[in-house]
Structure 1
């Protein structure tokens, strides 16, 4: 897509709103001749780096109440016409999901891995553990041994750390966050503003 606008897309694999926003990426790319650059991160780690993680302890306001977030996500899913189910708690550290996608990227499968994990979490209701992560290689057509090696590699973790630093340095404070040049758009509900910027 020569000359197409690029949008940096920082997403969390366990984030309801990242899943919802990801469902609109292909439509936006086709409509505005742009390209999203997917940058998976552990969103909790980003919030911890900035301080004041709203998901630690009791909800700070109604928007962070778990019951409301489930209701809101279901409303958005109905609006988009996509399936949604409340995710089951992970049985691995959340950063392992981002690391899996970055490991898959070593074999050219970053976006397919992100989408597969979102399918497992928000559609199929799978509890993500190390066995599930190891099993991603087969449906993605990856070399399983290489994938496992890259999942454990210090270089993969270092890349994730760089992405976290990059997101924080640009002013991101949660996911999903989109950057069109220097303009930041945070949240699934800001996609309409991103689309307006692309159309301008």
Structure 2
């Protein structure tokens, strides 16, 4: 059986991206798939996919965008997954910097390590993730300090992030976390059971053909 490669589009300031990320190793082990991580600036994705509008920058159009509701919901999922979660209280961070930091780390095969460290900082430690802190994270995973600082604003990294945004929109992605399985888009942490079911069906169909 071939190992399915599943794109995982996520934002590092997204509660539900963090929650979903805590389950990916388990799903890989149980289904034999492999997730390909795509870090992006999720607010920009949402604006582009919705004609320049974002429900997070306006009066909430429905209860699902209410901050208190989203906090309670995220805390409930964290209890269900048995993973740590603290509602962020300090959003003094640049989402573009967070995404780009991962693509700098990707040059050294460390995208997942950087992503997980940022998730932990935001949703477990309640840290305001500044450029200085990102640089500390980079050094902790073996990246050169000055090379990381220089690469963060490099045209190649900015172009890479833009390409990921365009690829996501081209694949019909309109929010995070999102996954693609055999051409099917699955959006949201609460779609993980459907993701696992789709992977199982894919595996069963290949076994039948064999």
TM-score range, shorter chain: over 0.9
Query: For the residues of structure 2 that align with 1:90 and 1:161, how far apart are their CA atoms?
Result: 23
Unaligned 5+ residue runs, structure 2?
Answer: 202-210
Cα deviation, residue 58, structure 1: 1.2
Does the CA-based 8 Å contact 2:177-2:187 persist in structure 1? yes
Query: For the residues of structure 1 that align with 2:133 and 2:91, how far apart are their CA atoms?
Result: 11
Corresponding residue number in structure 1 for 2:80: 79
3-state SS of the aligned residue for 1:135? helix
Query: For the residues of structure 2 that align with 1:119 and 1:43, how far apart are their CA atoms?
Result: 18
Deviation sequence 1:14-48 (CA, Å, 0-9, x none): 10000000000000000001100000001100011
Unaligned 5+ residue runs, structure 1?
Answer: none
Query: For the residues of structure 2 that align with 1:92 and 1:124, how far apart are their CA atoms?
Result: 14
Corresponding residue number in structure 1 for 2:70: 69
Cα deviation, residue 95, structure 1: 1.1
Corresponding residue number in structure 2 for 1:141: 142
Corresponding residue number in structure 2 for 1:194: 195
Corresponding residue number in structure 2 for 1:181: 182
3-state SS of the aligned residue for 2:34? strand
Cα deviation, residue 70, structure 1: 0.3
3-state SS of the aligned residue for 2:6? strand
Matched, 1:30 2:29: yes
Deviation sequence 1:132-153 (CA, Å, 0-9, x none): 1121122212122221121121
Query: For the residues of structure 1 that align with 2:181 and 2:86, how far apart are their CA atoms?
Result: 30
Does the CA-based 8 Å contact 2:90-2:127 persist in structure 1? no
Does the CA-based 8 Å contact 1:20-1:188 persist in structure 2? yes
Query: For the residues of structure 1 that align with 2:107 and 2:89, how far apart are their CA atoms?
Result: 28
Deviation sequence 1:80-113 (CA, Å, 0-9, x none): 0000001133323211100000111111100000
Corresponding residue number in structure 2 for 1:53: 54
3-state SS of the aligned residue for 2:105? helix
Matched, 1:116 2:117: yes
Corresponding residue number in structure 2 for 1:159: 160
TM-score of the aligned structures, taking structure 1 as reference length = 0.96
Does the CA-based 8 Å contact 1:138-1:144 persist in structure 2? yes
Kindly report structure 1 stretches of 4+ aligned residues shifted beyond 4 Å.
Answer: none
Does the CA-based 8 Å contact 1:88-1:121 persist in structure 2? no
Query: For the residues of structure 2 that align with 1:197 and 1:98, how far apart are their CA atoms?
Result: 28
Query: For the residues of structure 2 that align with 1:85 and 1:158, how far apart are their CA atoms?
Result: 33
Q: Which has the larger radius of gyration?
A: 2
Deviation sequence 1:112-164 (CA, Å, 0-9, x none): 00000001010111111121112112221212222112112111011111111
Does the CA-based 8 Å contact 1:90-1:129 persist in structure 2? no
TM-score of the aligned structures, taking structure 2 as reference length = 0.92
